[in-house]
Amino acid sequence: MSKGHTIPLLHLTKLIHTHRPQATFTIFTTSANKPFISASLSRLPTKTVTITCLPFSPTKDGIPLGVESTDQLPSMSLFHSFAFATNNIQPHFETALEHVQTSPNPISFLITDEFLYWTQESASKFNIFRFTFNGMSTYVAALSMNIVQYRLFSEDKSKDEVIQVPELPWIGVRKDEFDSSFFVNDPQDPQLDFIIKCYNATSMSGGVLVNSFYEIEQPFVGYVNSKAHAKFWCVGPLCLADEKPILLERSEKPEWITWLDKKLVQGKPVLYVAFGSQAEISNDQLKEITIGLLESSVDFLWALRIKPHQEEILNGFDEKLKDKGLVVRSWVEQRDILDHDGVQGFLSHCGWNSTMESVCAGVPILAWPMMAEQHLNAKMVVEEIKVGLRVETFDGSPRGFVKWEGLSKMVKELMEGDMGMKAKKKVKELSVVAKKSVEKEGSSWCNLETFFNELEMTPNASNGYQLNHNA
């Protein structure tokens, strides 16, 4: 459905191969997504992976033909229409499942994205174990369970009122930190309908694989596993399962790595700026970002994703940068940037993948959440694991407008201030823990081994392994 979900699933594929080299994988996807998936898994042994393309023709309102991933949507307001349109894949998926199940190497279990709720029904039809992949943290799951169970946000609650979470009493939450779908009461509303469908399908699944590690999720893993119908397994950070290509020659290095190398030699720490591929930034906010970054006097690398019509806002910006900043409009390898010794801070939307990558790289975060559960991720980053700071909004609210003065102030604090130094120290410590978690006998390594050992004891898991990923 989106690269933010596809990428960690592909990392999970590589991780499973490491734990069970005899495993074979069937990846179900769509034709437009196949090249990316094929390239990502190209280093796995021949005949280990089979990619099966399924037809996808969206019929919902406003979704252009040819759009097969959320990062291609003209607006994220179309997300739920797109999500429900994936139902059209189900009959083709079941036809493909029937074919595979009558082959010499049938599927023993499925792992599908949490948002593809309809795959649970398909798995049940063929008596196949289905496990859910959850691209969020158990922290988010734990808070969400509390909000729903205790109806913490009644209509008369102010969005600014801090409310203590009943079963996690050290945490205070505000209505404005949660997505609007939490406040919908009409069961026919697409937002609520989608959440209910995903929740019910996950509850019926055999378990939930989470892109995180136990050491930063301990109280929340315990909580969700005491409440949820399906067990949550922390098996990440999944980005560490991916082997990065080695750039041997200077000529092979992309522009941004060469620029970072130069800054490292000059002894100038760099702030990496990226808001993901789906954030929708207003024209006014974009102007404030450009001014705030310039006024901070901090060297920065900005992986820019904006609408074509917004380019005019940046007219003359590159010239003003001189050598203080580099704006990259093409695709970048984010892990290569975060792992670079010259990068000492990350101005981030706090998507969970980016958060995990930053923690693994030991880079502190300046959190600027934009959508979905990102506000809760930012809350976790700042308040729970203390590896970052938060941007300063003009009115102090989680979703408020950020003026250039507030942005410049917090960029300087992250890169040069006392609070930034504390966050840097903490994230360096957690980076070591994260890497140990996926090593042999580490927490995530043991979790995945236990997962497979339990699965291997079940009758229909004796045919080897196959992993499924849709859309």
Whichever domain contains 255, its CATH number is 3.40.50.2000
DSSP state, 371? Answer: S
Answer whether 63's CB lies under 8 Å from 84's CB.
no
Considering the chain, what is the average pLDDT of its residues? 91
* pLDDT for position 246: 52
pLDDT tens-place string over residues 359-371? 999 999 999 999 9
pLDDT tens-place string over residues 113-135? 999 999 999 999 999 999 999 99
Indicate if the pLDDT at residue 250 is higher than 50: no
Indicate if the pLDDT at residue 70 is higher than 60: yes
- Does residue 227 share a domain with residue 275? no
Indicate if the pLDDT at residue 245 is higher than 80: no
- Does residue 203 share a domain with residue 54? yes
Residue 460: CB atoms within 10 A of its CB come to 13
Distance, in Å, from the CA atom of 128 to the CA atom of 141, rounded to the nearest integer, reads 26
Answer whether 467's CB lies under 8 Å from 107's CB.
no
Full domain range(s) for residue 405: 250-433
Kind plus residue range of the DSSP H or E element containing 366:
strand 365-367
Please report whether residue 29 resides in a domain. yes
- Does residue 261 share a domain with residue 175? no
Higher pLDDT, 62 or 319: 319
* pLDDT for position 42: 93
Q: For the chain, give the percent of residues with pLDDT over 70.
A: 94
Instruction: Provide the β-strand partners of residue 234.
Output: 210
* pLDDT for position 434: 98
Distance, in Å, from the CA atom of 125 to the CA atom of 108, rounded to the nearest integer, reads 14
Please state the rounded mean pLDDT for residues 341-347. 98
Q: Could you give the number of structural domains in the chain? A: 2
* pLDDT for position 308: 85
Indicate if the pLDDT at residue 136 is higher than 90: yes
Helix (H, G, I), strand (E, B) or coil at 111: strand
Please state the rounded mean pLDDT for residues 170-191. 88
Please report whether residue 230 resides in a domain. yes
* pLDDT for position 251: 55
Distance, in Å, from the CA atom of 269 to the CA atom of 330, rounded to the nearest integer, reads 22
50: tokens are: 């089979």
Indicate if the pLDDT at residue 90 is higher than 90: yes
Beta strand residue intervals within 46-154, DSSP E: 49-53, 109-113, 129-134
pLDDT tens-place string over residues 215-228? 999 999 999 999 99
Helix (H, G, I), strand (E, B) or coil at 164: strand
* pLDDT for position 155: 67
Instruction: Provide the β-strand partners of residue 112.
Output: 132
* pLDDT for position 214: 97
Answer whether 281's CB lies under 8 Å from 273's CB.
no
Please report whether residue 359 resides in a domain. yes
Answer whether 129's CB lies under 8 Å from 108's CB.
yes
Indicate if the pLDDT at residue 427 is higher than 60: yes
- Does residue 254 share a domain with residue 211? no
- Does residue 58 share a domain with residue 190? yes
Which residues, other chains included, contact 196 with Cβ-Cβ below 8 Å and sequence gap of 6+? 187
**292 backbone dihedrals φ, ψ, rounded to 5°:** -60, -40
Please report whether residue 466 resides in a domain. no
**387 backbone dihedrals φ, ψ, rounded to 5°:** -110, 15
User: How would DSSP label each residue in 238-262?
Assistant: GGGGSPPPP--SGGGS-HHHHHHHH
Range name among 84-88, 249-253, 263-267, 376-380 with the lowest pLDDT average: 249-253
Which residues, other chains included, contact 109 with Cβ-Cβ below 8 Å and sequence gap of 6+? 128, 129, 130, 131, 206, 455, 461, 465, 466
Indicate if the pLDDT at residue 424 is higher than 80: yes
**306 backbone dihedrals φ, ψ, rounded to 5°:** -135, 170
Please report whether residue 467 resides in a domain. no
Range name among 41-55, 191-205, 233-247, 401-415 with the lowest pLDDT average: 233-247
Residue 315 burial by Cβ neighbours in a 10 Å radius (0-12, 13-18, 19+): exposed
Indicate if the pLDDT at residue 261 is higher than 60: yes
* pLDDT for position 1: 63
* pLDDT for position 459: 61
- Does residue 318 share a domain with residue 231? no
Please report whether residue 468 resides in a domain. no
* pLDDT for position 249: 46
Please report whether residue 450 resides in a domain. yes
* pLDDT for position 462: 39
Indicate if the pLDDT at residue 439 is higher than 80: yes
* pLDDT for position 460: 56
> Which residue, 331, 338, 393, is CA-closest to 364?
338
Residue 300: CB atoms within 10 A of its CB come to 23
pTM score over 0.85: yes
- Does residue 411 share a domain with residue 293? yes
Please report whether residue 245 resides in a domain. no
- Does residue 270 share a domain with residue 340? yes
- Does residue 444 share a domain with residue 429? no
422: tokens are: 């504390």
268: tokens are: 């100038």
DSSP state, 380? Answer: I
- Does residue 188 share a domain with residue 228? yes
- Does residue 443 share a domain with residue 389? no
Please state the rounded mean pLDDT for residues 224-247. 87
- Does residue 348 share a domain with residue 277? yes
Which residues, other chains included, contact 173 with Cβ-Cβ below 8 Å and sequence gap of 6+? 143, 147, 152, 162, 163, 165, 379
Distance, in Å, from the CA atom of 60 to the CA atom of 240, rounded to the nearest integer, reads 37
Helix (H, G, I), strand (E, B) or coil at 55: coil
